[in-house]
């Protein structure tokens, strides 16, 4: 998988919020095999533990993808992205511009505008967006080379609420890396996303809030590999009627 100019082997991106302890977070990162971890600059700065936390993340060896979580306007997102570039010395930014307080649905109008400004400023933008084809087209026109449609609202664990829309996005943007971001609750959700042809999955709460975050991180990694392998194997489609797997020829005839 190639994201902008970087080759990535693991198709699991892991968030770093809400873990029971830094040790469990580090162990979950290792168990997942992820090469990319996301972190909210606003959250960690607000908690006053930024320096120690970021040092711990750097020690994992994973690439840090800072995000603009909690931003509700274009200017907020741009300022946060610029601060993140200085702190982490990276042009990568996961762009979030929230438009609805309850569902945390992106404000797609502000998202496109912020993506345009940041792309022009040299950022490589990973936009958290809806599963809307037109919005996707505008984000690509704004300079994005990756799309990150939601599966369901952030932290909801509802899985893929509209797989048909994700399938349509995959068909409409066949050459654009596509990462399902938000809503994944179980390994089967992650596998389903990959079976639809998605390039990767980004998740956080499903691992961080599991009874065994390390075990769940490992399970998610396995599910993503299984789903990707299944997609590449050209699975059979559903049928309207049963089809016997054993031929009638050679069956015993009872007089």
Q: Where are the domains of the chain?
A: 2-233
Arithmetic mean of pLDDT over the chain:
91
Q: Which of 175-179, 236-240, 247-251 has the lowest mean pLDDT?
A: 247-251
- Cβ partners under 8 Å of residue 183, min gap 6: 150, 151, 152, 153, 154, 156, 157, 158, 159, 160, 161, 189
- Dist CA 131 CA 108 (whole Å): 11
Binding residues for 1-deoxy-D-xylulose 5-phosphate: 155, 182-183, 204-205
Question: Quick one: pLDDT at residue 253?
Answer: 67
- Cβ partners under 8 Å of residue 255, min gap 6: none
Torsion, Cα 71 76 78 82, to 10 degrees, reads -100
**pLDDT grade, residue 56 (50/70/90)?**
confident
> pTM of the full predicted structure?
0.89
Torsion, Cα 135 172 103 84, to 10 degrees, reads -70
- 236-251 average pLDDT score: 76
Question: Quick one: pLDDT at residue 98?
Answer: 92
Binding residues: 155, 182-183, 204-205
Give catalytic residues, as residue numbers: 94
Question: Quick one: pLDDT at residue 252?
Answer: 64
Q: Which helix (DSSP H) or strand (DSSP E) does residue 220 occupy?
A: helix 213-232
CB-count exposure of residue 81 (10 Å: 0-12, 13-18, 19+)? buried
Question: Quick one: pLDDT at residue 46?
Answer: 46
CB-count exposure of residue 44 (10 Å: 0-12, 13-18, 19+)? buried
For 208-234, the pLDDT digits (tens) are: 999 999 999 999 999 999 999 999 998
The CATH topology of domain 2-233 is TIM Barrel (3.20.20)
Question: Quick one: pLDDT at residue 27?
Answer: 94
- 196-206 average pLDDT score: 96
Question: Quick one: pLDDT at residue 88?
Answer: 87
- Dist CA 76 CA 46 (whole Å): 15
Q: Facing residues of 181 across strands?
A: 202
**Secondary structure (3-state) at 149:** strand
CB 62 within 8 A of CB 38: no
- Cβ partners under 8 Å of residue 175, min gap 6: none
Q: What are the start-end ranges of the E strands in 111-251?
A: 124-129, 148-149, 179-181, 200-203
- 52-56 average pLDDT score: 74
For 106-143, the pLDDT digits (tens) are: 999 999 999 999 999 999 999 999 999 999 999 999 99
- Dist CA 207 CA 185 (whole Å): 8
Residue 177 has pLDDT above 50, yes or no: yes
Question: Quick one: pLDDT at residue 51?
Answer: 63
**pLDDT grade, residue 45 (50/70/90)?**
low
- Cβ partners under 8 Å of residue 205, min gap 6: 15, 17, 18, 154, 155, 157
- 11-36 average pLDDT score: 94
Residue 62 has pLDDT above 80, yes or no: yes
């Amino acid at each position: 998988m190639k994201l902008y100019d970087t080759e990535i082997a693991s198709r699991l991106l892991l968030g770093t919020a809400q873990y029971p302890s830094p040790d469990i977070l580090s162990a979950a990162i290792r168990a997942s095999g992820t090469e990319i971890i996301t972190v909210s600059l606003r959250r960690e700065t607000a908690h006053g533990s930024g320096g120690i936390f970021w040092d711990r993340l750097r020690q994992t060896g994973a690439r840090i993808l800072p995000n603009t979580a909690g931003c509700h306007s274009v200017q907020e997102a741009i300022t946060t992205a610029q601060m993140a570039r200085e702190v982490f010395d990276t042009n990568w930014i996961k762009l979030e511009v929230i438009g609805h307080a309850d569902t945390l649905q992106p404000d797609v109008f502000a998202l496109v505008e912020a993506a345009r400004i940041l792309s022009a400023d040299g950022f490589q933008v990973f936009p958290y967006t809806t599963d809307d084809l037109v919005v996707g087209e505008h984000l690509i026109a704004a300079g994005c080379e990756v799309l990150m449609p939601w599966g369901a609202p952030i932290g909801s664990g509802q899985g893929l609420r509209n797989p048909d829309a994700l399938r349509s996005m995959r068909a409409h943007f066949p050459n654009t890396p596509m990462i399902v971001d938000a809503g994944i609750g179980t390994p089967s959700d992650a596998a389903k996303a990959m079976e639809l042809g998605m390039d990767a999955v980004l998740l956080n709460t499903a691992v961080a809030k599991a009874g065994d975050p390390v075990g769940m991180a490992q399970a998610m990694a396995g599910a993503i590999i299984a789903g990707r392998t299944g997609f590449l194997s050209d699975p059979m489609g559903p049928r309207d009627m049963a089809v016997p797997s054993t031929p009638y020829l050679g069956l015993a005839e009872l007089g």
